Amino acid sequence: MGYVAGIIDGEGAIFITHDYFIHKNPVHRLEIRIGMIHKEALDFLVKTLNVGKVVLEKSYANKRPMYRLVYQNRDDIRNVLDQIYPYLLVKKQQADIAYEFLDKALGQRGRWLSEEKKEIRKNLYIRMRELNGIAAPATTERNGKRGRSRSVRLEATV
């Protein structure tokens, strides 16, 4: 299991995404993502962890293809974290935030989030961004015109 954790430490990412929808709850997604050009290594991860599926991400002419293994399901993420957590070195803090997100910030489909849960999600999202070396957004105001009904990614504005 140490080898699996090493691959995630070196080639993987544990992160939270954020989408803003007008008149709806903000959507936060927890993901574990590993991308490599060596499909065999990702197949080994799937076999060892007993969860996941390897997909072809990119394939350009005269370039080697890129394969990706993504965990988005909360049960799969918890399963993976439970198996690799003791062996993580680099991404242990991200795993701590991921556990906190799973324990405190999950919503229920079709239900409005309380202001407290929205604040918890926002804080976890910002903490994860800082750990991953992405500047924390100075504001949660979205860029662009108001009144759109489709998803808009938040951009950091300083």
Helix (H, G, I), strand (E, B) or coil at 43: helix
**CB–CB of 69/54 below 8 Å?**
yes
pLDDT, residue 138, reads 52
Cα-based angle 133, 93, 97 (whole degrees, multiple of 5): 95
Of 18, 138, 12, which is closest to residue 81 (Cα–Cα)?
Answer: 12
The hierarchical CATH code for the domain 2-153 is 3.10.28.10
Domain borders along the chain are 2-153
99-134 confidence digits (pLDDT tens): 999 998 777 665 777 888 888 888 999 999 988 887
Amino acid at 73: N
Residue burial 85-119, b: 16+ Cβ < 10 Å; e: rest: beebeebeebbbbbbebeeebebeeeeebeeeebe
Global pTM reads 0.76
| Of residues 10 and 156, more confidently modeled | 10
